[in-house]
Structure 1
Amino acid sequence: MPDLAQSFADILAAVQRPGGFHVAGSFDIHPPRLVVTGVGSIALPLLPVQAEALLRVAEQAPYGRGPETLVDTAVRRTWQVDGARVALTGQRWSADLAAVVERVRRGLAVAGAIEAQLYKLLIYDTGSFFVPHRDTEKAPGMFATLVVVLPCDYSGGELIIRHRGQEVRVDLHRDEPSEAAFAAFYADCLHEVLPIASGYRLALIYNLVRVGPGPLPQAPDYGTEQQRLVQLLGGWNTSTAAPDETPAKLVYPLEHAYTQAEIAFAALKGKDAAIAQCLIPAADTAGCDLHLALLTVTESGWAEYTGGGRWDSPDLEVGEVTETDWEIHDWCLPDDSRPTMDPLPFSADELSPADALADLDEAEPEFSEATGNAGASFERTYQRAALILWPRTRRAATLAAGGLGVSVPALLALVHRWEAAGAKSGDPLWHEARSLAAAIRTGWPTDLWTRRQASNDGRMRDLFAIQLRLDDLDGCADFIARQSADGAYGAADNTALALVLGHLPTQRATELLRAVITANVGRLPGACAGLLLRCTQSDDPARRAALQAAARALLDGLPDGHAIVPLPNWEHPEPLTAAQVADAVTAFLRIDAAIAEQAVMRFLSLPAVYNLDGLLLPAALLLKDGGTDPEPAAVQTLRRAVLAHLDARIALPLAPPPDWARDAAIPCSCKHCQGLSRFLAAPTERVWLFKAAETDRGHVADKIQRANADLDLTTDKRGRPYTLVCTKNQASYERRVRQRALDLQHRERLVG
């Protein structure tokens, strides 16, 4: 293709006139004195009783058909009061209206002065509407209509405006009672009012007229430019050229500055608005995606001293750029929705025109003076709003190249569009979504850490869920084999993985499950137990029985104090929780009771790994609370072992100490700690005063805390050095009392 970026810029350069065919917005209203002949003053927000009074003095609104004026409630059902019977006074209202008219003038790009002449007051009640129609010239110089909806309580009644194949839907209802809404549009625009769902809608209708001689303003027409854009972009979309022969996307920087909060097609100004209005329908017709976004270029490098400035603030200038980062972010679609896409990188060959960032060097740098071995440096950031396009035929490759933070949200949005269109398998959106999903799988990160991070971030889960919605089971299975069964797995994937495996044929599902567990059980035994448990929830006993190989893989990989699968230095196995131990036993029971018994015996034979109090007791309680009758043998074995442990501890005598002797193994034999040990063993001594330097006091206090000795510590700061006051207490006995109460509670739950 010829220079696409330059040709694109040349066409847009011909779009000179800003403005659109409509303007809409809201403003803070200073309530006017609104008086209607036959009713009197009208309160705002509009009260239902006054709305009824207005309807009694209003007439059925007619509509024009050629030279005729007709009343037909099948075409227009609303009521009107002629402008001559309506009085609007108040200095603040005049200023409010003047400000609205100026906003309309700028938005419609009308040169010269215009004014608003009150034409009608319209009252819409529930069910009122007006079918599509065009306004006729009602006054000399009229070129457009202005609708101001006053504060009132209603729903429905959206205004639809159409012009040359474009359509906008404007909701003029405002919840805030101090706010009014307006919409203005050229008189030749087809427009309609949808039915009022509830309440009353009160609207002032103004004729917008040109002040002074000259031709009437016309809505902008970009037909020629749009046709050229459709031809250019359509050729790009259908091009069979190699990907490196044409840019993957076009980045067209805009003229005006916009903040992050202002990024919206509706907020574009001047020529930017005209270009967007021209480009939106052309891009859609040509099969291209269009976004509005911010582009940011960040440069850094080393700086040079110029020799000027003071000694403590020398002058610096940019020396050499050593690092650059070009990215597009803060995405916005033509309907002003904001997809949650991560930043996408772009390159200079995608700029349109090529010199669009010629003022990049004018960005103000921030300098850092030399420190230590590092010389002086600088960093500068350049930001512009831009229109971004790419062909839909290359959407998959473009988005996949942007990383998972771009491609997966874009795929999700595409699937939403497909489902909104009827979710028909085999239609173009379906094929496009499956193509993008395949491109995402192909471009998935290759290094293990990044792949696991994608799992933790939910990207893998989202892709599984999307592929299921697209009925792409083969893609799911391939992805499990290449990613989940190769170490890119986390607990966040379990729900989606189990759902996918549940849709696959039994043999394929069990093979993949065993592979996932084998690859990950050494690192995430608890997550693997949870996955196996989810996969046993089938009502088909034969399918559950087929999971024996996966169950064996989990059992063989459960911790035994030795690393079964070597892990990288930066990684450690995730400790099992009691809930995960219970999950494993429950899953084994659903598959093969013998495996469950083997697992329990393994737990009980490794007390250093499976602590009775910290792990097996709470697991036994969970199994007991959620168990079945009769109790499975494996659960019974575990429960009996835990009960024996509790009974042995309950049988120990429990009485407060008879004297002040306290047991404690002080892990030190220095002279100070020897004195401490003698004090602890003394049956008649309750307080020990240790007057010593801070270092020695701290040493003794540390050993007391390490030994968990029954001592309260305070510091007497009278005199030098300070004195560490050690007072014996009954903390060990009190702990045993609390433990006894807890043991009795646990025993009751286990027996009951």
Structure 2
Amino acid sequence: MATVARDKLARMLRGDVAGAFSVALTTSADVLSIEVDGVGSVAFPVSSAQARELLGRGQPARFGRGEETLTDPGVRDTWEIPTELVHARWDDDALNDILTTVKDELGLPIAAELTAGLHSLLVYEPGQFFRAHQDSEKDDSMIGTLVVTLPSDHSGGELIVRHLEEKNTYRGSTAELSLVAFYADCRHEVAKIRSGYRIALTYNLLLSGDTALPEGDEGAVGELAGFLREHFSTPVFSRYGGRPAGPPNRLVYLLDHEYTPRALGWRGLKGADAARGSLVQAAAERAGYEAVLALADIKTTHSAYEADDYYGGRGRRCWDDDENAEDDDTDDLADYDIQELIESTVTLTHWTGPDGDQLEATSLDVDEDEVCASSGTDDFEPYTSDYEGYMGNWGNTLDRWYHRAAIVVWPREQSFANRAETSPGWALDALAEMAPTDAQAAAATLEPFWDGALRARTSADSARISETFGKALRTADTVADAATASMLLGPFRVENLTAGGAAPFAKLASQYGRPWAVQLLRTWAGAGQPYWTVGGPERGRWAADSLPGLCAGLRAEPGGGETAAQLLVDLAWTWLREAIDSAARSSSPRSRDGGLDALGAPLASVLTAAATTGPADTRDTVLEHVRRQQDAVTALEMSALRAAAAPGGNGTRDETGFGELAADCAARLRSRLALPSRAATDWSITLAADGCGCELCETLRAFLADPSQRTLDWPLAEQRRRHVHSRIDAAELPVSHVTRRQGRPYTLVLQKTDALFTDELTQRATDQADLDWLVAEWHVPPAPQTT
């Protein structure tokens, strides 16, 4: 199989540059003098006696875990002398010469200026140590750390620096200054002191000035530009086969060092990243593409097994706010036998502008066909991991999460679309600022992903939905094109349209015409789709809370507002009618009554809106449909009438039809109350027909209908007992059903309960209270007298 372009690019960059991640040198102790308040001058080599004096000025060193700064000798056990007590002076240009060497060895730009700022003076006594940790940038220009170990007679205390799979170990000297410089993202530790005292100054390394690298080799730049063109012109095939999709939208090249958001920038790239970044930037420019820097979170999932029956725990690393160290509390990967890679996901969390500034938060999952790297992610240290043991059908997996930086390249004409995919609100603001022709062209690049991107970023945040919808309405007006406006507004739902959007929507309806408005509203409402697949409870709340005010607002606007209001009432009623019918068909009385009760407020709003919007036959259609329902519809009617009578309701208006609804509800209640009360000896129960006419149901129905039979002993096999159980429970009958586990088959014992009487009395009391309320609130006329 031919090597894809992105892998050719990664392979070329892997061999093209190689930079050191740490550098060590020694120099005479004569170039440095140190005074500590309360101790005086520090003599070299540092004696044990003077080391103990220094300890007297120190305090337990702290480390960071998340947002906290902690003291824990199990993680960091050393003494730190406050910086304000320490006065370190270097002779002449000694420190500048050291920093020049460090800059060259680390591969930093020649024209840049590397400076060092004192951070701490540390004293380690026997038995003390600092577990593996990682320094973060304490300043926007910080690129690394310089450790100056003072000469002293001690054993142990080695400084161990790691990056990827490499490890360098550095030991102090008894006569000279030992200096180690390394990039801030390198993991490092101080081994336990076996004897004597280890004393060290630490400095923050700051890079400033002209940090640009020289332009890369013309041949290399040209070859990389060719790889980029090939990548962006080759269609992507689905991993499951089928027809190829279009070419990739971006290329994500993962870098080898880690960066915090504050330190991410072209001038702050470290080691090999800096040289590679310069080459990719030049190649992108030559090919006519745009390159930005990004931060990525990567999750890998491997099949894995515990070694030696060890149960793996969970670990997490944290950035330090003081020493900026990270507790090395992650899982020891040696505890697992790691098998094949199951899945790897890359999510971009931040990116910059093309010039490397204007850092923006983002959230973009990147396809595997868009990612490449010169170093595998498994070569890095995960910042957390999670092992899941065998769970029956799945498990034995090890999830690991990593922080990496990346260079992201995309065609210039796709720049707007790439940013819009992660921030629809930003895209709408940007479109609104463009001239109509430019906005239409830019919006056309959004169409392939706009629906999914907008829904994914607003579905769980009502405030964001409202804000974004308002922007979309304004932008749809600005683009001055009906098709573009439909595309931008299409992903929203009718629930997003409230009274506040009446004026801008009416303006759009007038601008683009009635057919445009009708089609958009039908799309928002999910017209033609089963009601349970659209809207849900949100549709009911929208109808109850927003529909009358929205329709009133639309009618007040000139142009297409009246038509839009009429269509909204029709769409709301179409959904509500199907919801009423579905609730009324429920075999569970509680589900049926609860469902109908929840639809009362939406019904009241539909009647109110229908009374003032469109022809009167809409209201009549609604009332007729309600009147045709079974007797249980009183739950719906009472709920609607109470909503209409509540403060702010519109129940006093005759044209709404609430009077007719109240009359129908009263008639149903009176009809139920007119039935004679159940006799004390009447144990009959009616089992509603649900289409099942099996012999078991016929036997059950006969037992229930018998007014004198209270119990039934019924030998049945398990599956047949289960069917009877389900019929009783679904209908919520006042019948207990237990299995007497004697003989074969077991006996199902059915017994009618006293709830048959108490429930009926409760229902009659409720019906009477409801009828009294209707008479008082809605002035329902009394029932006609019979002679």
Question: Contact 1:408 / 1:462 at 8 angstroms: preserved in 2?
Answer: no
The residue number in structure 2 matching 1:254 is: 255
Q: What TM-score, normalized by structure 1, do the two folds share? A: 0.51
1:664 aligns to what SS in structure 2? coil
Q: How does 1:474-489 map to 2 (within 5 A)?
A: 474=479, 478-479=483-484, 481-482=486-487
The residue number in structure 2 matching 1:409 is: 422
Q: How does 1:597-608 map to 2 (within 5 A)?
A: 597-607=619-629
Question: Contact 1:691 / 1:723 at 8 angstroms: preserved in 2?
Answer: yes
Q: Residue by residue, what CA displacement relative to the aligned partner does 1:354-408 show, whole Å, maximum 9, x if unpaired?
A: xx77999xxxxxxxxxxxxxxxxxx9999994623225724447628xxxxxx53
- CA distance in structure 2 between the aligned counterparts of 1:707 and 1:7, rounded to whole angstroms: 67
Letter of the 1:439 counterpart: T
Q: How does 1:570-581 map to 2 (within 5 A)?
A: 577-581=599-603
- CA distance in structure 1 between the aligned counterparts of 2:404 and 2:714, rounded to whole angstroms: 72
Question: Contact 1:298 / 1:382 at 8 angstroms: preserved in 2?
Answer: no
2:351 to 333, 349, 355: 333
Relative distance call for 1:741 and 1:272 in structure 2 (3 A) is farther
The residue number in structure 2 matching 1:733 is: 757
- CA distance in structure 2 between the aligned counterparts of 1:589 and 1:282, rounded to whole angstroms: 70
1:711 to 735, 740, 745: 735
Q: How does 1:286-305 map to 2 (within 5 A)?
A: 288-293=291-296
Question: Contact 2:637 / 2:662 at 8 angstroms: preserved in 1?
Answer: no
2:364 aligns to what SS in structure 1? coil
Question: Contact 2:296 / 2:348 at 8 angstroms: preserved in 1?
Answer: yes
Letter of the 1:273 counterpart: K
Match status 1:440 vs 2:433:
no
- CA distance in structure 1 between the aligned counterparts of 2:427 and 2:680, rounded to whole angstroms: 77
The residue number in structure 1 matching 2:55 is: 90
- CA distance in structure 2 between the aligned counterparts of 1:735 and 1:590, rounded to whole angstroms: 42
1:621 to 612, 636, 642: 642
Question: Contact 1:144 / 1:209 at 8 angstroms: preserved in 2?
Answer: no
Q: CA deviation at 1:324?
A: 11
Letter of the 1:90 counterpart: L
Question: Contact 1:455 / 1:490 at 8 angstroms: preserved in 2?
Answer: no
2:233 to 244, 262, 267: 244
Letter of the 2:556 counterpart: P
Question: Contact 2:476 / 2:489 at 8 angstroms: preserved in 1?
Answer: no
Question: Contact 1:283 / 1:290 at 8 angstroms: preserved in 2?
Answer: no
Letter of the 2:270 counterpart: A
Relative distance call for 1:469 and 1:332 in structure 2 (3 A) is same
Question: Contact 1:434 / 1:472 at 8 angstroms: preserved in 2?
Answer: no
Q: CA deviation at 1:501?
A: 1.4
Relative distance call for 1:555 and 1:410 in structure 2 (3 A) is closer
Q: What TM-score, normalized by structure 2, do the two folds share? A: 0.49
Q: How does 1:535-574 map to 2 (within 5 A)?
A: 535-536=550-551, 538=553, 541-543=556-558, 545-547=562-564, 549-551=566-568, 553-554=570-571, 557=574
The residue number in structure 1 matching 2:412 is: 393
Q: CA deviation at 1:618?
A: 2.0
1:440 aligns to what SS in structure 2? coil
The residue number in structure 2 matching 1:225 is: 213
Letter of the 2:271 counterpart: A
Q: Residue by residue, what CA displacement relative to the aligned partner does 1:705-750 show, whole Å, maximum 9, x if unpaired?
A: 6776553334444666654444333433333322233334444554
Question: Contact 2:57 / 2:81 at 8 angstroms: preserved in 1?
Answer: no
Q: CA deviation at 1:439?
A: 1.5
Q: CA deviation at 1:627?
A: 1.7
Q: CA deviation at 1:277?
A: 6.0
Letter of the 2:253 counterpart: Y
Relative distance call for 1:560 and 1:601 in structure 2 (3 A) is same
- CA distance in structure 2 between the aligned counterparts of 1:549 and 1:166, rounded to whole angstroms: 71
1:741 aligns to what SS in structure 2? helix
Q: CA deviation at 1:540?
A: 6.4
Question: Contact 1:597 / 1:634 at 8 angstroms: preserved in 2?
Answer: yes
The residue number in structure 1 matching 2:518 is: 514
Letter of the 1:440 counterpart: L
Q: CA deviation at 1:464?
A: 4.3
Letter of the 1:515 counterpart: Q
- CA distance in structure 1 between the aligned counterparts of 2:82 and 2:458, rounded to whole angstroms: 62
2:706 to 675, 681, 691: 681
- CA distance in structure 2 between the aligned counterparts of 1:678 and 1:465, rounded to whole angstroms: 62
The residue number in structure 2 matching 1:343 is: 366
Question: Contact 1:17 / 1:274 at 8 angstroms: preserved in 2?
Answer: yes
The residue number in structure 2 matching 1:662 is: 684
2:674 aligns to what SS in structure 1? coil
Question: Contact 1:297 / 1:326 at 8 angstroms: preserved in 2?
Answer: yes
- CA distance in structure 2 between the aligned counterparts of 1:546 and 1:676, rounded to whole angstroms: 53
Match status 1:585 vs 2:607:
yes
The residue number in structure 2 matching 1:197 is: none
Question: Contact 2:252 / 2:406 at 8 angstroms: preserved in 1?
Answer: yes
Relative distance call for 1:253 and 1:552 in structure 2 (3 A) is closer
Q: Residue by residue, what CA displacement relative to the aligned partner does 1:33-90 show, whole Å, maximum 9, x if unpaired?
A: x9979xxxxxxxxxxxxxxxxxxxxxxxxxxxxxxxxxxxxxxxxxxxxxxxxx9853
- CA distance in structure 1 between the aligned counterparts of 2:342 and 2:362, rounded to whole angstroms: 26
Q: CA deviation at 1:648?
A: 2.2
Relative distance call for 1:663 and 1:121 in structure 2 (3 A) is same
Q: CA deviation at 1:227?
A: 5.1
Q: How does 1:119-268 map to 2 (within 5 A)?
A: 120=84, 141-142=94-95, 223=211, 225=213, 244=233, 249-255=250-256
Relative distance call for 1:539 and 1:661 in structure 2 (3 A) is closer
**Larger deviation, residues 506-515 vs 667-676:** 667-676
The residue number in structure 2 matching 1:743 is: 767
- CA distance in structure 2 between the aligned counterparts of 1:278 and 1:136, rounded to whole angstroms: 34
- CA distance in structure 1 between the aligned counterparts of 2:427 and 2:455, rounded to whole angstroms: 25
Relative distance call for 1:220 and 1:10 in structure 2 (3 A) is farther
Q: CA deviation at 1:275?
A: 4.8
**Larger deviation, residues 580-589 vs 659-668:** 659-668
The residue number in structure 1 matching 2:713 is: 690
Q: CA deviation at 1:341?
A: 1.6
Question: Contact 1:292 / 1:333 at 8 angstroms: preserved in 2?
Answer: yes
1:441 aligns to what SS in structure 2? coil
Unaligned runs of 5+ in 2: 24-35, 40-51, 65-79, 99-110, 121-133, 152-174, 182-204, 235-246, 304-338, 380-397, 580-594, 778-787
- CA distance in structure 1 between the aligned counterparts of 2:250 and 2:733, rounded to whole angstroms: 71
Relative distance call for 1:716 and 1:639 in structure 2 (3 A) is same
Relative distance call for 1:144 and 1:227 in structure 2 (3 A) is same
- CA distance in structure 1 between the aligned counterparts of 2:643 and 2:624, rounded to whole angstroms: 19
